[in-house]
Amino acid sequence: MSDSPFFPDHQPIQLPKIEIRRPKLGPGAITLAVLVLLGLFVYAASSFWTEILWFQQMHATRILLTRWGVIAGLAVVGVVLSVAVLRIMIGLAHRHRVSSKRGEAAANLRQYQDAIEPFKKLAFWLVALVLGIPAGLRLAEGWQTVLTWLNATPFGKTDPIFGWDVSFFVFTLPFLELVVSFLLHLVILSLVVSIVASYLYGGLQVVPRPHATVPVRRHLGILAAVASVIIGVQYWIGRYSLLTQSGDNIDGAMYADVNATLPAHSILAAISIAVAALFLVAAFRGTWRLPTIGVVVTVVAALVIGGAYPALIEQFRVRPNARSLNAPYIQHNIDATLEAYGLDDLDYQTYDATTTAQPGQLREDSESTSQIRLLDPQVIRKTVQQLQQSRPYYSFDSGFFVDRYTINGERRDTVISMRELNLAGLSQEQQNWVNRHTVYTHGFGVVAAYGNSITSDGLPSYWEQSIPSKGEIGEYEPRVYFSQSAPDYSIVGGPEGTPAQELDYPDDNAPGGQVSTTFKGNGGPSVGNVWNKLLYSIKFGSTDIFFSSQTNEESQILYDRDPLLRVAKVAPYLTLEQKAYPAVVDTDGDPSTPKRLVWVVDAYTTTDSYPYAQHQSLSSSTVDSRSQSVGQYIQENSINYMRNSVKAIVDAYDGSVRLFQWDEKDPILSTWMKIYPGSVESKQNISADLMGHLRYPEDMFKVQRDLLTSYHVRDASDFYTGGDRWRLAEETSTAATANGASTATMSSSQQQAVRVQPPYYLTMQMPGQQSAEFSLTSVFVPGGESKREAMAGFLAVDSETGSEAGKVREGYGKLRLIALPSSTTVPGPGQIQNAYDTNQTIASQLNVLNLSDSTVIRGNLLTLPVGGGLLYVQPVYIQGSGGANYPVLRFVLTAFGNRVGFAPTLAESLDQTFGGDSAAKVAGGDQSADKNKGGGDQQNQAESEPSKQLASALQDANQAIQDGQNALKNNDWAAYGESQKRLNDALTKAIDAQKKLDAQGGSGS
């Protein structure tokens, strides 16, 4: 019988059993699933396993596995902790659920609860995973911060406010910020999840009035207390961050920061701890009034104490007395900036330069004048491309670089470049997979020319050239498999005795018109087995790799061939110079083995956390008219510490990378060497030959010179007034325009940056320096809004490293700055350029050349402190019209004070500037003393017959122009007509002479 009063005879209804059958997977489905999983595995392996193969081949597996291991470890810790905490929070809310609520809202919540209940565990874990995984992965992003904190090296210097070692700010403070940020994010996320879950399960209600059950109140109260404690810790460590903050003009903590903001952070930290205690009281005593008041007090205190009070101190205390109150802190900034950027040992002196040019004035400066560089590396690229390219699939894409070589005891300032492979030069018929990836695999050799002399035809005077390489460098491995313009990948190598398939170099006397070779090095992972071939086919999206008969058991695949990329991968903590430069050196110190062709890469350790040091943007400091974009391999764009800590070389043949510890005192590099032991070699392993080709890096110098526009002033009061600010001189060369550079798409600030004159390498002697040395130089003009272009300062750094194995020459890296007194007006580069442009003789002759279907290109304007003043030298190139046009050096402009010279040779131009006899010694002998000697020497700048004809024609044209102008003034139309006839005759002769010179240049190739 039924107990129901309504249905006394009711029997329980028997529902039919529903049997749920799981679908059976057939063999086809299982096979498909296995194939899909296998395909996903192989596809993943084409990324991660090929990366392991690459690092194994580079003997740098530890670099990769350490990074991956730390990232994976932090990700696991962060994800597990986040997911576990969130799952516990949801579980607690479920445990403290309340189901006896009434009302429509409670009914709706019960519907949600009933819907979730059958699969609540799955739902809880799903929510925890969806929210916890992204939160946990945040921790893995700071893998470098964790590693450097664990291996921190002291700087041995303390900050001026707290007295902490600088390593605390560079290594420890970022780690504390990472941990606190992660914990605060997790606790706030937990609090939000707990509130939502408690509301869904009835432990927390909003209407008709807010109310929480005792367990929920304790749960939320403890979480709020933990969040408040973490906020207090964040305020406390924020006190230290004041010393590394960026200011409006001066970085670091100023008077208002130290005397108002810093105490405010301490007070707010204490208030946060007190509020945490109030939350705990509320959690166990049942009243929210006190913590609510505490939160309100915290917010008000943050606005008043943390914001309004420092602003009032700044407005009414500091601004009226800024010079005196901020002076100690500005001095901290000056001292820290000079230390952080290696400017603390700067040799600063006032240079009372003379502006009067007199005969014999350069007699005592033979070391500097004999090494004046006439070849502009940016201009001659097109010339060398025309005359030394050999085949269209070769190029000099990396450009030309200034270096120095010692050959048979003779020191030569040199302009050098590698002949790289350029597949774009292949014809359409040659553009097939076999050619692109197995035949055309490498470039060949270098071209080296004297930097300070040219041939009689105005062309570079080569002392290493041609294919095969001919010259005086000696025996070296000339093949360039690794370069910036190399193909994305090449497959090379083969068993001993098999026919060679790679084009080595063209040779009309060889069978088939070319010499072939087989790669013998260890430059890339093997593709001699099916597994590797499959992985690389997927990696590069090419079935040809897998099916090609060109591969064999000895085949290697060369990829990631840009020297900068290779260094960046094996040393991911370094910021790299924008360009690598080539050198032919004996890398192992064994003169019996052939030299190697290598790329030299300068590398930096940087940070943005050095207390009180000024922040610099690499994207603005390193950009100029020659380098119009910042390098891509930088750790951080905004920095306030920089050291050239590593010199790296990349072998152009096998791609091997060697890192040398250049700065043995740099704590950041020492820290990374603890993380990756054995990855950086001692400086003692640098061979004598390699040491002779290292130099002071450009990007470091650019950052330093940018800072010295302000930080040449070392007194805080004078620095504050800013009355002696400088700016960098603007470019006067037309080489950038001639090479196709365009600023049309740049912003105004970018256009201003790229107008800056680049630094120049040249051999010269600064005042007070014992001898002329290979140096890097730059020019300053007065700052402010006056736009004056007078010379304000001249900076040079001794870039000569010496030639002893493992030992850097004493004096290397010494920065010398000469400042011109404001009472002396020495023309700056812009004023010198204006003097050239407005000189009637110079302007008319250059205009004649422009009128004769030629283009005048002004090369780099070099500045040298000689003769008691400042000498300017600028080569002038003439580029003809036609398909095979290229620049040829025809004239040299010189200037000293208000005197200018313009002649076909440097010696003649100097003589014009210095009253007929400069007494200068220039390349090839004392040409100013006897210009008729050494005329047949290729290193001399003697004029050929067409050159003389051109010079004579230009002089006749110039005289005709002047006579015509005088005739117009006197209304003498007959004389004017006669002058125009002479002008036409002179132009005709000039054009004929120029054509002969162009023909001579072409035949010389």
Whether omega for the bond prior to residue 591 falls within 30 degrees of 0, making it cis, is no
Strand order in the sheet with 470-471: 401-407, 410-418, 446-454, 460-465, 470-471
> Which run of H or of E encompasses 798?
strand 793-798
Cα gap 938→383, rounded to integer Å: 18
Residue 544's Cβ-side half-sphere holds a number of Cα atoms within 13 Å equal to: 14
Q: Which residues of 175-214 are buried (b: 16+ CB within 10 A; e: fewer)?
A: bbbbbbebbbbbbbbbbebbbebbbbbbbbbeeeeeebbe
Let me know: does 653 contact 481? Beta carbons within 8 Å: yes
Residue 480's SS3 state is strand
Q: Residue 629 — φ and ψ, nearest 5°?
A: -150, 150
Residue 251's SS3 state is coil
Count of C-beta atoms within a 10 Å radius of residue 261: 23
Q: Which pLDDT belongs to residue 934? A: 34
Q: Scan for tokens 């579980």, then name that residue.
A: 91
Cα gap 967→984, rounded to integer Å: 16
Cα gap 252→458, rounded to integer Å: 54
Q: Which pLDDT belongs to residue 735? A: 67
Q: Which two tokens stand for residue 492?
A: 């090379």
Let me know: does 421 contact 443? Beta carbons within 8 Å: yes
> Which run of H or of E encompasses 412?
strand 410-418
> Which run of H or of E encompasses 34?
helix 27-57
Cα gap 670→380, rounded to integer Å: 42
Compute mean pLDDT per 10 residues along the chain, 1005 residues long, and list them: 46 50 70 85 90 95 95 95 92 75 59 72 88 92 95 96 96 96 95 87 72 83 92 95 93 94 94 90 79 84 87 90 93 97 94 89 88 91 86 90 90 92 90 93 94 88 91 93 94 90 87 88 93 94 90 93 96 94 91 91 96 94 83 88 97 96 96 96 95 96 96 93 88 63 51 80 91 94 80 95 94 95 85 88 80 81 93 90 79 92 91 88 52 36 59 75 75 76 77 66 41
Q: Which two tokens stand for residue 623?
A: 């950009």
- Residue 721, phi-psi category: left (phi > 0), alpha (psi -120 to 50), beta (remainder): alpha
Let me know: does 893 contact 835? Beta carbons within 8 Å: no
Q: Scan for tokens 């699933």, then name that residue.
A: 33
Q: Which pLDDT belongs to residue 27? A: 80
Cα gap 571→660, rounded to integer Å: 12
Q: Which pLDDT belongs to residue 712? A: 95
CA end-to-end distance (rounded Å), the chain = 118
Q: Which two tokens stand for residue 673?
A: 């060497």
User: In the chain, count of helices (H) and strands (E)?
Assistant: 32, 34
Residue 926's SS3 state is coil
Q: Which of 660, 551, 671 is nearest to 598 (CA)?
A: 660
Cα gap 100→217, rounded to integer Å: 18
Q: What is the pTM of this model?
A: 0.88
Which residues, in sequence order, are bridge partners of residue 760? 777
- DSSP structure string for 559-610: E---HHHHHHHH-TT-EE-S--EEEEE-SSS-TTSPEEEEEEEEEEEEES--
